[in-house]
Amino acid sequence: MKKPFVTLEQVKEIEKTIPTPFHIYDEAGIRQKARDLNRAFSWNKGFKEYFAVKATPNPYLLSILKEEGCGVDCSSLTELMMSEACGFSGSDIMFSSNVTPEADMKKAFELGAFINLDDFTHLEFLENLCGLPETVFCRYNPGGHFTLDNQIMDHPGDAKYGMTKAQITEAFKIMKAKGVKYFGIHAFLASNTVTNDYYPSLARTLFTLAVELHEETGADIRYINLSGGVGVAYKPDQQENDIFAIGEGVRQAFEEVLVPAGMGNISIFTELGRFMLAPHGHLVAKVLHQKHIYKEYVGLDACAANLMRPAMYGSYHHITVLGKENAPCDHVYDVTGGLCENNDKFAIDRALPEIEIGDYVVIHDTGAHGFSMGYNYNGKLRSAEVLLKEDGSAQLIRRAETPADYFATFDFSPYFKK
């Protein structure tokens, strides 16, 4: 079973100053995850993790990852601005965007970020807008299906991201002729994989592509970005990914494909948002309501506006009732929020201990794509974020929204003028 990293006593103490619901993150777990990742890829001299800011955009968390040697993967102007505020610049930033506005591209260029082009037309767009930097990445989409052991993992051919091999080949030739010195390749072929084979298989695909592109274009390929896709075990009966086995699998592919081709100097990059943060975040909520009709319902002070993955994807998130960790799960509930939408459910027909009004629940694995996907439907306000520090103390790292925040974009009008 999944065990929370926070106790009932700690939550009660935190709630004296920070009301539920709130997202809480485990500093010790985050730091250990970053260190394990760096150790798993220490065989590659240029290895760097570019944390996907979109997963958990909070400057306090980004600063922790910066201390552990990570860079940032940004996809928008505001993510670039947040990263800049945290002290990231230059090659510590990977800018991977699509349907990119001019202001976003200009900011990435001004910061000296690695720019990863999503589409062939972006080559001309970048050149006309900013000029071509010394190093440029291109995002690859092989089309078709991505399979492992004859199992379809995802459908790159249906994805809006990346270029065909022919387009990348042409882009490399054009950029090389225009003075670009160094090149990188990037790809994301499957999401949230819980298998140690995904990264090694992806790596072998990209390593082979790099060799072919070098032979066809003469491009000096210095970097290969494996992007994200390494997932987490949301369900308690799932086997977690072993990052050391994954790193070793990538190393073997590196030795077998790149080294014989004389390309053993290539640096490996990753962009692991979910893997890095999801297990180290909880959504903590309080039970407000019980309802007994055709089913048994418990209603929380959190809702899909705080965590939309279950409503959006039907995703499983494990739930622990604090203080009842060892009680029998002999009751079946739908665990809901208060939105005027019937899909506002964190769990359906979930076996849990008997729940009473006032109980605190922990919803697990919300450290990535949890708070960041929040919204304000029904006028719901985004929650606070809290850091459980290594010494056991709790630090507010984002205050909860207030009605004044919700109405702030009407400050020009006569209705809510300051």
Q: Which amino acid is residue 409, in one-letter code? A: T
Based on C-alpha coordinates, what's the Rg of the chain? 23
Long-range contacts of 406-415 (CB under 8 A, 24+ apart): 406/376, 406/379, 406/381
Q: C-alpha 217: how far from its chain's center?
A: 33
Nearest to residue 381, comparing CAs of 339, 346, 319?
339
Nearest to residue 382, comparing CAs of 413, 362, 364, 403?
403
Strands (E), 206-301: 220-225, 267-270, 281-292, 296-300
Non-local CB neighbours of 58 within 8 Å, separated by 6+ positions: 371, 385, 397, 398
Query: Can you tell me the distance from the alpha carbon of 188 to that of 167, in angstroms, rounded to the nearest whole number?
Result: 17
Residue 159 structure tokens: 């994805």
Chain position carrying tokens 């003075």: 179
Query: Can you tell me the distance from the alpha carbon of 41 to that of 37, in angstroms, rounded to the nearest whole number?
Result: 6
Q: Is the peptide bond before 21 cis (omega within 30 degrees of 0)?
A: yes
**Cross-strand pairs, 146:** 154
- Give catalytic residue positions: 340
Distances from the Cα of 361 to the Cαs of 4, 74, 271, 288, 313, in angstroms? 10, 33, 31, 11, 21
Long-range contacts of 143-150 (CB under 8 A, 24+ apart): 146/189, 146/190, 148/193, 148/195, 148/197, 148/198, 148/201, 149/197
